[in-house]
Chain A
Amino acid sequence: AQSVAQPEDQVNVAEGNPLTVKCTYSVSGNPYLFWYVQYPNRGLQFLLKYITGDNLVKGSYGFEAEFNKSQTSFHLKKPSALVSDSALYFCAVRDGVYNTDKLIFGTGTRLQVFP
């Protein structure tokens, strides 16, 4: 079965420190992986995606994600966190069973960046 796991409900980090938000996946076939961010009272906003190619993917707002096939992980990273990065982050994988645009979302990780 296709699935995505975000093992941490919340991640706390001090401003200026590096941050990592974890995601692992289980899919049949090649994974299409996504990260979305949700700021308070807003819709989900696309951050970055991995389809193929370079394992390190760069996205919006200085975020990047590292695809690791052997560990079936797609962790979101940023070298230096900002207070404004505080938000809810979702990892998602395209449902590879059927040829559709349906995404399977993780449960979300709340990132808190403290000044």
Chain B
Amino acid sequence: DAGVIQSPRHEVTEMGQEVTLRCKPISGHDYLFWYRQTMMRGLELLIYFNNNVPIDDSGMPEDRFSAKMPNASFSTLKIQPSEPRDSAVYFCASSSGRVPNTQYFGPGTRLTVL
């Protein structure tokens, strides 16, 4: 299996622009998670889906952030408009929904908002 795939790996954009991050989970996994990692705040769970349905979005920082999962093999995290404080590494992870419920992480997208 190719593992969790994220694109792009690096994104540099200017403040106010729309940013879309993409994730392809491991085939057969029922759960998909979006995390953000910064030096200041560490690793934060933003939102997660079960069977394509958002279950908990309490970690989404504000309305500028939105996430979708139109099918079992694709999810997007969108920031509109982007701000410099959104600069971070964004990780996607997936898990099978079966014990031991291990999450497998993608390589991350490093976002820089100028």
Which residues of A does B touch, CB under 8 Å? Answer: 32, 34, 36, 42-46, 49, 51, 90, 94, 100-103, 105, 107-108
Whether B103 lies near A101 (C-beta < 8 A) is: yes
Whether A46 lies near B107 (C-beta < 8 A) is: no
Known: A43-B106, A45-B105, A100-B31. A32 touches B100 (CB 8 A): yes
Verify if B55 is at the interface (C-beta below 8 Å from A).
yes
Which 6 A-B pairs have CB atoms at the shortest separation, nearest pair first? A43-B105, A101-B95, A101-B31, A44-B105, A101-B101, A43-B107
Whether A43 lies near B91 (C-beta < 8 A) is: yes
Which residues of B does A touch, CB under 8 Å? Answer: 4, 30-31, 33, 42-43, 45, 48, 50, 55-56, 91, 93, 95-97, 99-108
Whether A100 lies near B55 (C-beta < 8 A) is: yes
CA distance A103 to B59 in the complex (A): 13
Report the nearest A residue to B44, measured CB to CB.
Answer: A105
Known: A43-B108, A101-B97. A108 touches B102 (CB 8 A): no
- Note all chain B residues with C-beta closer than 8 A to A102: 33, 45, 48, 56
Known: A100-B50, A102-B48. A46 touches B102 (CB 8 A): yes
Whether A90 lies near B43 (C-beta < 8 A) is: yes
- Which of A46, A101, A102: most chain B Cβ within 10 A? A101
Minimum C-beta distance from A91 to chain B (A): 12
Point out the residue from B42, B91, B101 that lies within 8 Å of A94, measured CB to CB.
B101
- Note all chain B residues with C-beta closer than 8 A to A103: 101, 103
Minimum C-beta distance from B6 to chain A (A): 8
- Note all chain A residues with C-beta closer than 8 A to B105: 36, 43-45
Minimum C-beta distance from A3 to chain B (A): 14
Minimum C-beta distance from B110 to chain A (A): 8
